[in-house]
């Protein structure tokens, strides 16, 4: 059978048009692969099985459209198909997981405790994490002292994980995906030190997450988006 080249081109054109039409009807996520806030937003979308048009950015050259819809200039930013803009990673997670049927990661029985943990992560642990990671910029304390301050939160997580496979039970909740990227970042400051600390359950939890298929998918590398590029549908 001989393939008609014109038919092949027509098929490619139809597929391209369909892809652009699909992207036009989807929400648009501005993201930065290594940012823990963007990681948890992507994980929320993946667990909810909600496709978006993903636009990877570079921090030194932020797209004009992103800055127009979100002048704060930080990622993630999600613009819904109806134009509504969600600028906070936690709100993006919540929005995505509320679309999930059933809402497995938003279990009412654990939601309050999960929100409390995420709040503690965002308001307290992240403070010490930043100083531990960039100790040379914060000379008030040593890097070891900053790490020890951050360990107060790790101890809470370790205690929770002595009772359950995940933070709040035997299944994933919003607390796990909301906190894991920050524990990962803490561990990656010095992996040898992290895995020598007395938190065996937390270390197993993190290793399991790093091997989780959805986390691996969340960490897919994309070229930085430029205006006029073909849409990238995530997950593809």
In tens digits, what is the pLDDT along the chain, a chain of 236 residues? 444 545 555 455 444 444 444 555 899 999 999 999 999 999 999 999 999 999 999 999 999 999 999 999 999 999 999 999 999 999 999 999 999 878 889 999 999 999 999 999 999 999 999 999 999 999 999 999 999 999 999 999 999 999 999 999 999 999 999 999 999 999 999 999 999 999 999 999 999 999 999 999 999 999 999 999 999 999 98
| Cα–Cα distance, 88 to 5 (Å, whole number) | 48
| Cα–Cα distance, 98 to 114 (Å, whole number) | 15
Same domain, 62 and 142: no
H or E segment at 52? strand 52-56
Same domain, 82 and 141: no
The domain of 200 spans 105-216
Same domain, 74 and 98: yes
Under 8 Å between Cβ of 133 and 189: yes
Same domain, 156 and 79: no
Query: At residue 52, what are phi and psi to the nearest 5 degrees?
Result: -135, 165
Token couple for 3: 């393939």
Q: What does pTM read for this prediction?
A: 0.90
Same domain, 88 and 172: no
Which CATH number characterizes residue 162's domain?
Answer: 1.20.1050.10
Same domain, 109 and 207: yes
């Amino acid at each position: 059978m001989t393939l008609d080249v014109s038919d092949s081109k027509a098929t490619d054109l139809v597929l391209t048009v369909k892809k652009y039409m699909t992207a036009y009807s989807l929400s648009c996520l501005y993201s930065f692969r290594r940012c823990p806030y963007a990681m948890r937003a992507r994980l929320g979308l993946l667990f909810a099985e909600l496709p978006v048009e993903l636009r990877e950015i570079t921090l030194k050259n932020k797209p004009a459209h992103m800055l127009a819809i979100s002048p704060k200039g930080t990622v993630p930013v999600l613009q819904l198909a109806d134009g509504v803009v969600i600028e906070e990673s936690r709100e993006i997670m919540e929005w995505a997981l509320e679309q999930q049927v059933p809402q497995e990661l938003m279990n009412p029985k654990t939601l309050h405790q999960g929100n409390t943990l995420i709040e503690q992560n965002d308001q307290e642990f992240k403070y010490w994490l930043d100083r531990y990671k960039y100790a040379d910029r914060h000379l008030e304390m040593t890097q070891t002292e900053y790490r020890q301050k951050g360990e107060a939160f790790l101890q809470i997580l370790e205690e929770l994980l002595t009772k359950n496979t995940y933070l709040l039970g035997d299944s994933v909740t919003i607390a796990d995906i909301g906190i894991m990227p920050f524990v990962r970042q803490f561990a990656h400051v010095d992996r040898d030190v992290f895995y020598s600390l007395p938190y065996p359950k937390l270390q197993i939890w993190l290793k399991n997450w790093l091997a989780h298929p959805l986390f691996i998918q969340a960490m897919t590398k994309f070229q930085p988006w430029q205006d006029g590029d073909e849409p990238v549908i995530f997950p593809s």
